[in-house]
Chain A
């Protein structure tokens, strides 16, 4: 369980979302300005911490979560009861060692595990739903920086993230360059490609095509757009895996039957697996959050934010960077990491980069990988 050594933060006990209020929640003292020009009043950020903050507050490591991740980094998820999403990486004696570091993981704004999002109550007492402002990755990071301010952490020992978490780490390094000494970006990208946006649009359309979505207004209804959300998750899940990985895991094997049944049941194991993934996801995730966060990712183009040239984004940075890609990741392929590395080289930044070999595609960053562990440990120490 998390040890809260944050101390003295104004916390809100009242549940704002469907999720049980297990994590401490930090209520931002000021309205949060957003890239859209809007502001978010009364913004709340739910977070977990692991380890102990040292007296000079120099040992903090911020881990940023991915699209459907949350703050339950190294402690059980309150809804699913499953272990934290990176328990194999974060803990005592692990590559991100909670014996040395004070590790923070916060739910991004727009999400649904205790931080302000479309399921939260607007000032009028009703859920925001689609009235929640459209946010960006930089807005999420602005929220995280506000949390760091609240915790009194001026400079992180490291910011770490995989996938969308990597985008946040990059955004932090680009926009708040003095706030992190080390920046570790795993299986990520500096911009969403047309293909990335296309897959997300499939997911969003699946949600919006579900009659239960009801223009986002379903929080008081008997049914939620679970079917649409499940399809969105199924489509996305395919992009997280490699073809070889799927073949190895499922091949063309049939599910619980000896022969084809000439019907549209989940006849193949891979169908059954995707359906399971899709329906499981709806138990813990809000469909509107999925819309908002995928939109934020699609908007992400770090160079565009800084005049179009990625090297300019990092000009003068004093942070050390490490980028890691996986050879079978076709969602954010190695070329995207190289693109960032080249920009960092051009900016004269201290940067490491390695492409690791792993059979499981994009999801490899979450799975067992000794080389990944060694690189993370070596860089974060």
Chain B
């Protein structure tokens, strides 16, 4: 797992070997490469940024340049054992619809996102009175791709509303795994495994 971002490492550790996986917003393909090499998975990726797609394809990964808001519609139902959406939900045009799509194309879904209710974020907003720029959310409001900020509890609510079952969840602060208690205060990032 060395070198993988903590949320990706958590996902990599919990994908069943030999699974069919779709990594949405796969970036440079780090997770896909790990899943193929270490778990013998059949990994496919989708990425918006052409330069990143080029890097993926040149390392032998199957990645399509596409917009998850539009292009997930072309995959058949339950085409994958897992649909993975890492650090992308909060950039979606409609996160609720994207969650539907994830649970349609995948039997299970992994979703990771920065938790907007982390105490640093709350403090920055409460005390500073300005949109937080923190370690987990380093980009100013006017240029961030995060157009739908979400908290751990918001996500639990959305999952419930969508009839999705939270199979497991992992929380991270300062690049380290932390326990579930008070995660909505303590977690900078969250990873959920869902099924429906």
CA distance A351 to B62 in the complex (A): 5
Is A357 within 8 A of B76, CB to CB?
Answer: no
- By beta carbon, the residue of chain B nearest A371 is B54
Q: Which of B36-64 touch A at CB < 8 Å?
A: 42, 44, 50-51, 53-54, 56-64
Q: Is A378 an interface residue (CB 8 A)?
A: yes
Q: Chain A residues near B66 (CB, 8 Å)?
A: 338, 341, 353
A320 to B79 CA separation, bound complex (whole angstroms): 17
Chain B contacts of A355 at CB under 8 A? 50, 65
- A377, CB-defined interface residue at 8 Å: yes
Q: Is B167 an interface residue (CB 8 A)?
A: no
Complex alpha-carbon distance, A220 and B50, angstroms: 53
A377–B64 contact, CB under 8 A? no
Residues of B within 8 A of A343 (CB): 74
A375 within 8 A of B: yes
**Contact count band on B:** 20 to 34
| Any B CB within 8 A of the CB of A218 | no
Q: Using a Cβ–Cβ cut-off of 8 Å, how many residues does chain A contribute to the interface with B?
A: 24
Residues of A within 8 Å of B44, CB to CB, are 350-351
B141 within 8 A of A: no
- Tell whether A375 pairs with B58 under 8 Å between CB atoms, given A355-B50, A356-B50: yes
C-alpha gap A379/B51 in the complex (Å): 15
CA distance A356 to B66 in the complex (A): 13
> Contact between A378 and B64 (Cβ–Cβ < 8 Å)?
no
Closest-by-CB residue of B relative to A323 is: B64
Q: Find out whether the CB atom of A378 lies under 8 angstroms from the CB atom of B74.
A: no
- From the candidates B58, B61, B65, B75, name the one contacting A353 in the complex (CB within 8 A): B65
Instruction: Determine if B71 is an interface residue (Cβ-Cβ < 8 Å).
Output: yes
Point out the residues of chain A lying under 8 angstroms from B64, CB to CB: 341, 345, 351-354
Given the contacts A348-B76, A350-B62, A375 and B50 also touching, CB distance less than 8 Å: no
Residues of chain B with a CB closer than 8 A to A252's CB: none
Near B by CB (< 8 A), chain A positions 330-344 give: 338, 341-343
Tell me, rounded to whole Å, the shortest Cβ–Cβ distance linking B40 to chain A. Answer: 15
| Chain B 68-115 residues near chain A, CB threshold 8 A | 71, 74-76, 79
20 A-B contacts, Cβ less than 8 Å apart? A322-B57, A341-B64, A341-B66, A345-B64, A345-B74, A346-B74, A350-B44, A350-B62, A351-B44, A351-B62, A351-B64, A352-B53, A352-B57, A352-B61, A354-B53, A355-B50, A371-B54, A374-B54, A375-B54, A378-B57
